[in-house]
Amino acid sequence: MLATSNRLRTSTDFSTTVRSGVRNGRRNLVLYTAPIGAAEPSRIGFIVSKAVGNAVTRNLVKRRLREAGAMSLHEHGTGLAVVVRALPAAATASWEQLLSDYNAALAVTTKRLHGSVPRNTAPDNHGTTTEGTPRA
């Protein structure tokens, strides 16, 4: 179970993460990751539509994805907002397949987030690089 502080709750949080986040799709899910404040706890939300299956199937998929999300909080405890959208194929996927897809998609999106560091293009760099280190 995810703690309340680790859940995305409002539709604004979901839409902000989906619109501004980095996207990665897998066979069973699509994962969106967006940065939030570095000191804020990471928050995870799940979208499991009726296309996935009946209520029993949707709840099973949601419980499995929630557990995968809880496991990922050990490594990514702060600074991320994550939205996981289950695809219809998730209904027949095993726990191992869902966990593998979740972990792979999260690894790709976090790598893209950390690789796309905004560059400081202001003319007042005064002898520093974009990372803030002094130039030689």
| pLDDT tens digits along 54-89 | 999 999 999 999 999 999 998 888 889 999 999 999
Percent of the chain residues topping a pLDDT of 90: 70
Convert 85-125 into a string of H (helix), E (strand) and C (coil): EECHHHHHCCHHHHHHHHHHHHHHHHHHHHHCCCCCCCCCC
Helix (H, G, I), strand (E, B) or coil at 129: coil
H helices of 3-87, in order, are 11-20, 55-72
User: Do residues 76 and 106 make contact, with C-beta atoms less than 8 angstroms apart?
Assistant: yes
pLDDT at position 115 is 82
Total-model pTM: 0.79
pLDDT band at 25 (very low <50, low <70, confident <90, very high): very high
